[in-house]
Amino acid sequence: MAEPGQGLHGGDRVALSLQAHGVRHVFTLCGGHISPILAASRARGIRIVDVRDEATAVFAADATARLSGVPGVAAVTAGPGITNTITPLKNAQLAQSPLVLFGGAAPTALQGRGALQDIDQRPLVAPHVKRFFKIRRVAELGPAVDEAFWLAASGIPGPVFIECPVDLLYDESTIRQWYADAAGKGTAVGDRLLRWYLGRHVEKMFAGSGERPTAHVRAVEPPQPPAARIRQARAALARAQRPLMVIGSQTLAQAAQAMQIAAAVQQLGIPVYLSGMARGLLGRQHALQLRHQRRLALREADCV
């Protein structure tokens, strides 16, 4: 294992993975629990956008994801910082927006013991995300970020949460000294047991962290309709006298394909209603786009 202080700290590992995944912005309300992530990200050219409350940070990450196609990223401090994100998290889940939320947490050895801003965050957050990652070792940070980005964008997109205890983010020498000071130098049996326990705990936290991490970016394949369904749709359109299209948010799950989709709609020449994130796909005025009487149009169309 590398000597304490020689390797990358946890915040560096997170920032390296964010950089590898093409992240350009991290939205946050700065807090001590997550400061190493913010400092390391800024050092690597990622813009830190410090907003006025945590809900705004997650809403901004959601909007960035919808516009860019890259999962948005937000980072908030422990406890009340995380409770403030529930509304935008649920919004992202229902809107099928890919985003990754980093949440601070109390030191691993003090969780459940009344530490600053310490709450059990899993029951609060887990119902609103695709997966809740609870990090217990520094070496888990990079792989968790890689997996979170893939999960957020694959299948049905949605938010993913990564809980990052503060003692896994700062540099190893600082954390070892912090635990050594907490253990004290007493000679009583209880004191010696405490030192043994905390020493063993620290070794587990930093096990495997001496090696420089390598980010693994997994390609997300957009869902493809079965060829048989495409043939059925083509045949139905060929027979139709009054075809109609309805295009919603799912059509733009891959934001980079917006121009191709718009061109395909125009080439088909079929009247269309746009809803959700698809609004604006054809510009402000287009002869094919219908805006009113949708219920009547759906009733009169012979192929939708």
DSSP 3-state of 217 = coil
101 strand-pairing partners = 74, 161
What is the distance between the alpha carbons of residues 249 and 232, in angstroms, rounded to a whole number?
A: 23
Provide the pLDDT for residue 1. Answer: 36
DSSP 3-state of 63 = helix
Q: What is the pLDDT of residues 251-279, one digit of tens each?
A: 777 777 788 888 888 888 888 888 877 78
Q: Could you give all domains of the chain from N- to C-terminal order, each with its CATH number?
A: 10-206 (3.40.50.970), 227-300 (no CATH)
Provide the pLDDT for residue 89. Answer: 97
> What stretches of the chain adopt beta strand conformation (E)?
25-28, 47-50, 72-76, 99-105, 132-134, 159-165, 245-247, 272-274
Cα 37 to the chain's mean position, in Å? 14
Cα 71 to the chain's mean position, in Å? 6
274 strand-pairing partners = 247
* The pLDDT of residue 4 is above 60: no
Q: What is the pLDDT of residues 111-168, one digit of tens each?
A: 778 878 878 899 999 999 999 999 999 999 999 999 999 999 998 899 999 999 998 9
Would residue 213 be called left, alpha or beta, if left means φ above 0 and alpha means ψ between -120 and 50 degrees?
beta
Angle at 250 between CA 134 and CA 73, to 5 degrees: 35
Using only the alpha carbons of the chain, give its radius of gyration: 24
* The pLDDT of residue 20 is above 90: yes
